[in-house]
Structure 1
Amino acid sequence: MAKVAFLLANGFEDSEMKNPYEAVREAGHETTIIGLEKNVECKGKTGTVYTSELAATDVKATDFDAVIIPGGGAPEALRVNDDIVRFVREVNAQSKLIAGICHGPQVMISANVLDGKQATCYIGIRDDVKLAGADFKDEEVVVSENIITSRTPKDEPAFIREILVKLS
């Protein structure tokens, strides 16, 4: 059983949180929602609400086996938080799974973990991913060492499949 962190803030893409979160839990893994603060409601773009269980200041990479970053507007708020960036950087340094869909790779960009990797993302941040040193691929899911990325909600089945493969 893996311990999986979900990074969340207001404005996340509802299905990109809900579907991977439920799939990871159903597969028997332990999930923790990490936000900018502890015990704060995070509201999705279409009204789904999750409550953060831990604040970014309280987490260490050694406590988790994987990190998943849903897209939408949340990654923009997460990427400017030094503790979130530190956490993702530390997870990467330990070669643990980091998965981001849609705008999720924005957090990876700020943590400087995409250089030399292959990645995909929402088309609007494609140039940012390239400038971060990644080889951009316009594919439903890209697995590059410990990094998994996908583009949009329609790619969720492939995104979830690859996450569950890495966690098994």
Structure 2
Amino acid sequence: MAKIIAIATDDFEDSELTSPKEALEAAGHVVDIVENEAGKTITGKHGATFETVKGIDNAKLSDYDALLIPGGFSPDKLRVDERYVKLTKEFLEANKPVFTICHGPQLFIQTGISDQLTLTAYQSVQADLKYAGANVKDEEVVIDDKHQLISSRTPKDLPAFNAAIVEALNK
């Protein structure tokens, strides 16, 4: 069983948090949703709600086996907060699994190491990642084995994305 930290705030894309979380939990893993403070209710773009398990100041790399970053407007809000950028960069540099979809990879631009990554994202974010030096592919699921990074483009990719992230944790 792995313990996954999901970083999200209001206006996340509902299915991009709900679906991977359900798939991971069905496989026996634990998913902690983390935002600025514990016990806060965050709301997705379409009304899904989740209560946060802990605040970002109490979330440490050593407490988790993997990181999940859903899309929507949430990643754009989180990337201006150095705490989320720092944690994301720590996961990438520690070669712990990172799972992200749609707009989630926006956080990588702030890490300063986008030029080391191979990934995909939502179409408009792909260009930003290319300008930041990333190797961007327009595929359903892109796996960067060097960084244990699994990425997908849109909610329609969720079945393949979910299968890939569950398989990665079961290795």
Q: Which residue of 2 aligns with 1:13?
A: 13
Alpha-carbon displacement from aligned partner over 1:30-68 (angstroms, at most 9, x marks no partner): 111111222211100110000111111111111111001
TM-score by length of 2: 0.94
Q: CA deviation at 1:112?
A: 3.1
Q: Which residue of 1 aligns with 2:65?
A: 65
2:113 and 2:64 mapped to 1: Cα distance? 17
5+ unaligned residues in a row in structure 1: which ranges? none
2:129 and 2:163 mapped to 1: Cα distance? 23
2:164 partner amino acid: E
Query: Does the residue aligned with 2:114 lie in a helix, a strand or coil?
Result: coil
Alpha-carbon displacement from aligned partner over 1:109-157 (angstroms, at most 9, x marks no partner): 2223432221110011111111222111111110012111100000001
2:126 partner amino acid: R
Please say if residues 118 and 136 of structure 1, whose CA atoms lie closer than 8 Å, have aligned partners that are also in contact.
Answer: yes
2:131 and 2:61 mapped to 1: Cα distance? 26
Alpha-carbon displacement from aligned partner over 1:7-27 (angstroms, at most 9, x marks no partner): 110001101110000010110
Query: Does the residue aligned with 1:32 lie in a helix, a strand or coil?
Result: strand
Q: Which residue of 2 aligns with 1:101?
A: 101
1:47 and 1:117 mapped to 2: Cα distance? 32
2:61 and 2:113 mapped to 1: Cα distance? 14
Please say if residues 34 and 52 of structure 1, whose CA atoms lie closer than 8 Å, have aligned partners that are also in contact.
Answer: yes
| Pairs within 5 Å for 1:19-168 | 19-145=19-145, 146-168=148-170
1:147 and 1:109 mapped to 2: Cα distance? 14
CA RMSD of aligned residues (A): 1.1
Aligned length: 168
Please say if residues 36 and 78 of structure 1, whose CA atoms lie closer than 8 Å, have aligned partners that are also in contact.
Answer: no
Query: Does the residue aligned with 2:10 lie in a helix, a strand or coil?
Result: coil
2:113 and 2:23 mapped to 1: Cα distance? 25
TM-score by length of 1: 0.96
5+ unaligned residues in a row in structure 2: which ranges? none
